[in-house]
Structure formats: structure tokens, C-alpha cells
Amino acid sequence: MPDARQTRLAVLGSPIAHSKSPLLHREAYRELGLDWTYEATEVTGERLPAFVRALGAEWRGLSLTMPLKRDVLPLLARRDDLVHLTGGANTVLITEGGLVGFNTDVYGLVEALRGSGVVRVSAVQLIGAGATAASVLVAVASLGATEVLIATRSPEKATALLELATSLGMSATASGLSGRRGDFVADLVVSTLPGGTRVDLPLPAEVLSGATLLDVAYDPWPTPLAARFLDAGGSVISGLEMLVNQALAQVRIFVTGSAQTPVDDEARVLQAMRASIGLAPSSR
């Protein structure tokens, strides 16, 4: 459990000015009656070790965006099981024993899907091959996925993801962003590409209109891929849904020391967090 004197938090990344994490976290701590600060700080991977070394006793924890999710790994004293599995940590708790790394992206992805009515999946098309892609594989495996097609600019760099998918019990293949496997029809498409990225990925009309797209990006919105699904009458989940749910798990860690321990009156806290970034109330 963090020391009571630790009241300072931040989200780190580059670029970071667009981040909505400060809105989410500040609202959560206000609802909990905690006089904590949470800011957005521009930090590159090269600067991360020096930044961490300079942290004072008032620091409680950090949220991390790419590429820091992997850059932070050598700095951690301990890692949770999901960090070991995915190879990335998006949350750091500062303790007397050193930095403890957590992955809350998996929780955020699962809750974003479940909250939108997607409780079971079978065939998944994953776009992108970064650290978040590994979290996607763990998330969809927990929802029953048996087959995944990984579309990335460099399929030869998807080896680790293919191995992870296989270890999770899924059949997995990789392709380029311009290729198409004619026998593959996804019921879920997940894009981990940065917001604004335009990809002319060939998708059959039955996928655009019948599958669900979870696009982890949220700024600008809609993304070009989300616009394709919306134009075809398909179902689209914004990255804001993942963002708010993974942030709730971070709040749990910073307040209780565990991603599994709910905070007091958590349903009220979650609704306040959703409202802070313009999301409608959830059924939770």
C-alpha cells in the first residue's frame, strides 16, 4: 500500500498533450475525497530512466503510454502476471521496495467489449503489432476467441504475437495491411493503430456491416476505419471505452495497491469518470 504522504501522479508519454487521463483521474480522486494531483508530462523513452530517478517522496504512481509501456520494464522491481504475459506495463505503483508494474489494458479492453454487449467472440482480426496488440490477444482469448488474423505493416515482426496467441490456445496467422485472407470472416475487429492513421485494409462487406470494431484510438474521432464501419452500418466501440475502464483499474491500484480491489462506491466513481470525458452512463 502506498504511503499516505504520496499524493502526486502523472501520465507520461510523447506526445501527451491530447491525453484525457488527467480528466479521468482527477475526477475519480475528487469523488473519493482525495487531495491528489494528476498531470500529463511529456517524457520520451530516452528520458524515462532519468525522470524516474528524480521522483521525490511525494510521488505515488505513473500511467504510461507507448512506447514507455516497454521502455519501463528494466526499471521495475516487480511485475504483475499480465506484464509478464504481454511484455508491457501501462501502470507503475511507487513503493518502498521499488517500482511495481501493472497492465490494466487487458481489463480495459474486456470491459469495453462487455459493456457494449460483446461477451463472446470467435474470429478476431487484429490490426497493429505493438504492446497494446499483445493485451488485445489476452483479452479476446478470455472471451473465447479461437482464431486471430494479425494485420500489420511488417508481418515478419509479428512472431512474438503469433507465439503468444498460440500459447493462449488460438490459431493465429499474420498478413500485411493490404492483404486479405478470403476464408477469414471476423466477428470482431480490433485496431491498435494511432488515431488518424489511414489504412486501406480490405474488409468484406459482411464484416463492415456485421462485425464489431473496437478502435483503441479516440483522437481524432471517428478514425478512418471507424468511419468505414459506421458508413456500412456496423457496430463501433470508441477507444474512450477502453480508456475509462483501464483508468478505473489504475485508480484501484493507486488507492488500494491492487487492480482487483474495488474502491469505495466504485459505481459512482466510474459514472463520474465517464461523464468527465463525455461518455454516457454505463449499466454497471
Q: Where are the domains of the chain?
A: 8-103+241-276, 107-237
State the average pLDDT over residues 238-267.
97
| Model confidence band, residue 124 (pLDDT cutoffs 50, 70, 90) | very high
| Model confidence band, residue 283 (pLDDT cutoffs 50, 70, 90) | confident
Architecture (CATH level 2) of domain 8-103+241-276: 3-Layer(aba) Sandwich (3.40)
**281, three cell numbers:** 452512463
Backbone phi and psi for residue 251, each to the nearest 5 degrees, phi listed first? -60, -45
- With cell 504481454, the residue in question is 86
Residue type present at position 158: A
Architecture (CATH level 2) of domain 107-237: 3-Layer(aba) Sandwich (3.40)
pLDDT at 268 over 80: yes
Nearest to 104 by CA among 247, 203, 272: 247
Between 194 and 162, name the one with better pLDDT: 162
Mean pLDDT for the chain overall: 94
What percent of the chain has a predicted confidence (pLDDT) above 70? 98
**229, three cell numbers:** 464501419
> Do the domains at 8-103+241-276 and 107-237 have one common CATH topology?
yes
Give the residue numbers marked as catalytic: 69
What's the CA gap between 129 and 279, in Å, rounded? 28
CB distance 149 to 184 below 8 Å: yes
Which is it for strands 37-42 and 8-13: parallel, antiparallel or unpaired? parallel
Q: pLDDT, tens digit, for every residue of 80-106?
A: 999 999 999 999 999 999 999 999 999
What's the alpha-carbon Rg for the chain, to the nearest Å?
Answer: 19
| 147 beta partners | 123, 171
Instruction: Beginning with the edge strand found earlier in the chain, give each strand of the sheet holding 37-42 in spatial order.
Output: 37-42, 8-13, 59-64, 91-95, 98-102, 78-79
Q: What is the DSSP string of 59-93?
A: EEEEEE-TTHHHHTGGG-SEE-HHHHHHS--SEEE
Query: How many other C-beta atoms can be found within 10 angstroms of the C-beta atom of residue 181?
Result: 13
